[in-house]
A = this chain, B = another copy of it.
Amino acid sequence: MPEKIFPDIIQKLKIFSGVPQEEYLPLLRKGELGYLGRGQHLFRQGDEIRHFFIVCSGLMQLYSETPEGREITVDITTPGHSINKAEILMPMSKVHRVSAKALEDAVTLKFPANWLKEVARHPNISLNILSTISQYAHMVEIESEHKSTMSAAQQVGCFLQRLCVMHGFHPSGFTLPYNKALIASRLGMEPETFSRALAKLRSHGIEVRDMQVRFTNMDEIGDYICGQCSITGQCPTHSRLESLPPACGTRPDKLERRLMSVND
């Protein structure tokens, strides 16, 4: 009876949003609760894909390792999110491309892979899954873009703001939900670079001391995060942070090309 143990989580599952409880509770009950200690793995890169998971409590880190031992954090999931949708629904992948590790004691609901394929035949649920995968793809695309266009400081600034929005924190003061080394790895940079980025951001209205984050210049933080960056409204990052020395200066010829392309 997972809905008895984690009522708040279970009621807000995105993949079941809009589906009546009496319809999806029986489906959910087919899941098996699993308990993980901090540092334990849910699965590892290279393991066969057998299960679909919903995280009920605890943070999970999805990461991949290069042959040389470099570790890249692909995603960090919070309770209520699911793991493995995309891999299971992609016909030709049989093996996990990433490892999943508990960053703290965690509880998961585990389903056989086929369960998801069955459930996905349900039109409403299928649309929900489509929507979350699309959203994820969107986010990855944007971050990838940022990686080639923004300096480390800009990326960090953008990330902190997204963090604030997505977790519903208060911009004038919140605590980082995980440590800095992890965030750095999540952003594909070294801890040293991350640290130096924070230093640069202080003069731009983003203050981080220990684990405490504070955005000043609140007037610029409006509806939060633009289409460029993630969701809706105006983007404080792209306006505020552009005064940071950009990763690379603008090449005038590109600017010209852009202006010329207006009238084609």
Contact = CB atoms under 8 A, between A and B. Distances in A.
A264 B254 CA distance: 52
B246 A68 contact: yes
Contacts of A255: 68-69
A90 B134 contact: yes
Contacts of A74: 141, 145
A212 interface: no
Identical chains in the assembly = 2
Contacts of A72: 145, 148-149
Interface string A57-83: 000000011111111101000000000
A149 B66 contact: yes
Interface in A124-157: 126-127, 129-131, 133-138, 140-145, 147-149
Interface stretch (A26-34, A159-167, A169-177, A227-235): A227-235
Interface of A: 39-41, 46, 64-72, 74, 85-87, 89-95, 97, 117, 120-121, 123, 126-127, 129-131, 133-138, 140-145, 147-149, 188-189, 227-228, 231-232, 238, 242, 246, 250-251, 254-255, 257-259, 264
Closest 3 CB pairs of A and B: A148-B188, A137-B137, A69-B258
